[in-house]
Amino acid sequence: MNLELLLQSPSGQTVPWPGGQAIVRQLGWALHGGSESALIELGQEVTLEEMAAYLGWKVLIRNRFHTPVWWGYIEEIETRQAGAQKGLSLGKMANRVAVNYLSQTPGADFGLRAQTPWVEDFASQATYGVKEALLRLGSMGEEEALLHAHKALAERAFPKPQIAPSSEKDSSGVLLRCSGSFKTLAWRHYSPGSSLFGNMPAQSGTSNVGMDTSCLRLAQSFRPAVAMQVSFVALRLRKIGNPADNLLVQIQSDSAGAPSGTTLASASVSPAALSAESYEWLRLSLGTELSLDPALTYWLVISRSGALSANYGFALALDQALNFRAGNLLKFNQPAALWERLNPEADLLFKVGGLRSTKALMAEVFEACGQKLSSLSVDVTSSPQITCLDNELEDGLAAMQRLLALGDGLMNSLIATVSPEGRLRIAPLSPDLPAFHLGRGGILLTNRGFPIEEGLSPVGSIFTQGFAQSLIQKASLDLCSGQYNLQA
């Protein structure tokens, strides 16, 4: 199989291969990312030291029809000489490092997980791009954790040669292990932020609502950390006596630090759903879809649907320790016709749960981690809505693969491909997929009996054997034998 290999500098210029000859030994592809791995061999006259400067450079492989069949970057260089195996890799390199640790610093964060600031090597970043390492360690103080971060940065900012014994005494040239650009999403970290928030400490204090004119309504302000669609609101409350009317819960916009009076979404609570003996959490679904903007302030407004009653009504659980620092609780004083703080001051006990679209989350992952890619298109008509509960950082590749595994909103599987120009495209698998089967000698044939075009990826196609069919998830091609190894 005659394949052409092109080596491209960081500026995009095509340059000759060191030693003048490069041979492809193996190619690999995956459903999520397209080009995944490649093994390239150079001549014996090329040394590891000569190739060191080429780490991270782009590789493009074309067949004899000039069709691109694989593209990515040089991730690892390996050579065997004089009974030793030498290697140089971007795998463990890190030029931006932080430490996640169990804090032993006295105070409110004692025993909780904390993270140091990122420490960086800008010279390495200028050469290779930003590549992060988030180290997860045990119990320690902030100063010790920061020392670990600086030590790791000093050791890993640039690739260092690794040497190991080898049973092969003769030189076998230089091997280049290449990876697809999709893998570089793992170089940065991402957190979707939590779409579940509120104030949930131990209860300390209560407030009646609509039982006297000084507290006709209660209103708790909040601002979401992320853009989301509200899925539920929860309050801790009980009824007093047997009120004949309902409790009204509204989300209103803000006007000069108080509820605007404009209802964005609402729910109604029947007194039959409440206990008269104890305070309990009650989860409410809103009657309309409501999207929240993290740049805006909103108010959770609680009132009753009927007239004022001094004997029957509703009581809300409060937090007089003021644990919720992202908002304020106000009451509406009817005689004074104004919103005012409670005395003593308090916050409401409440929860707000939200949903986020996987399409929007994919865009966020790309924005945070797609430094080596040029653009993103997510071509889906609908996408699943999920609750994000975890604020912890994860690498961008793991985050994107987790979202891809959910499929689209119509339960179709997704395929992710990266073009030679670095354009990442995510789309549902086509219902009209090409089909392949194995012919004599393990040669991959189309459903018309023709061999697959030289070096092309069969990933995302259907593999047939008799009456059985399955989707090809991964594939590798051995260039020596011309045989494909399929994972379906």
Q: Kindly report which listed range (150-159, 243-252, 335-344, 459-468) carries the lowest average pLDDT score.
A: 459-468
What integer pLDDT is reported at residue 488 of this predicted model?
82
- Alpha-carbon dihedral 370, 462, 358, 363, rounded to 10 degrees: 20
- What CATH number belongs to 355-428? 3.55.50
Peptide bond before residue 344 is cis, with ω within 30 degrees of 0: yes
Listed in sequence order, the DSSP H helices in 129-282 are 142-156
Q: Is the pLDDT of residue 451 over 90?
A: no
How many other CB atoms are found less than 10 A from the CB of residue 464? 14
**pTM score of the predicted model:** 0.87
Q: Is the pLDDT of residue 343 over 90?
A: yes
Listed in sequence order, the DSSP H helices in 196-324 are none
Paired with 97 in beta bridges are 119, 133
Q: Could you tell me if 145 and 122 are in contact, meaning their C-beta atoms sit under 8 angstroms apart?
A: no
Among residues 433, 430, 431, 425, which one has the least CA distance to residue 400?
A: 425
Among residues 306, 331, 313, which one has the least CA distance to residue 217?
A: 331
What integer pLDDT is reported at residue 85 of this predicted model?
84
Instruction: Tell me the two tokens of residue 461.
Output: 């196609």
Q: Is the pLDDT of residue 409 over 70?
A: yes
Instruction: Tell me the two tokens of residue 159.
Output: 């690739």
Q: What are the extents of the domains in the chain?
A: 4-91+160-188, 96-156, 201-348, 355-428, 435-487
CB within 8 A of 405, min separation 6: which ones? none
Q: Could you tell me if 74 and 57 are in contact, meaning their C-beta atoms sit under 8 angstroms apart?
A: yes
Within the chain, how many helices (H) and strands (E) appear? Answer: 5, 39
Average pLDDT of every residue of the chain = 92
For residues 166 and 250, the model is more confident at 250
403 in helix, strand or coil? helix
pLDDT in tens, 137-160: 999 999 999 999 999 999 999 999
**CATH class for domain 201-348?**
mainly beta
Q: Quick one: average pLDDT of 57-73? A: 95
Q: Is the pLDDT of residue 239 over 70?
A: yes
What integer pLDDT is reported at residue 316 of this predicted model?
97
pLDDT band at 125 (very low <50, low <70, confident <90, very high): very high
**Are 201-348 and 355-428 the same fold in CATH?**
no
Distance CA 337, CA 217 (A): 11
Distance CA 237, CA 275 (A): 8
What integer pLDDT is reported at residue 170 of this predicted model?
55
Phi, psi for 296 (deg, rounded to 5): -115, 155
pLDDT in tens, 421-440: 999 999 999 877 778 887 77
Q: Which helix (H) or strand (E) holds 415?
A: strand 414-418
What integer pLDDT is reported at residue 46 of this predicted model?
82
What integer pLDDT is reported at residue 287 of this predicted model?
81
What integer pLDDT is reported at residue 172 of this predicted model?
63
What is the three-state SS of 437-464?
EECHHHCEEECCCCECCCCCCCCCCEEE
pLDDT in tens, 66-99: 999 999 999 999 987 767 788 999 999 999 999 9
| DSSP-derived secondary structure for 229-249 | EEEEEEEEEEEES--SS-EEE
Q: Is the pLDDT of residue 468 over 90?
A: no
What integer pLDDT is reported at residue 385 of this predicted model?
93
Q: How far is the CA of 12 from the CAs of 22, 33, 403, in angstroms?
A: 19, 21, 31
What integer pLDDT is reported at residue 37 of this predicted model?
97
Q: Is the pLDDT of residue 28 over 60?
A: yes
Q: Could you tell me if 319 and 349 are in contact, meaning their C-beta atoms sit under 8 angstroms apart?
A: yes
Q: Is residue 218 packed enough to be buried (19+ CB in 10 Å), middle (13-18) or exposed (0-12)?
A: buried
Percent of the chain with pLDDT over 70: 98
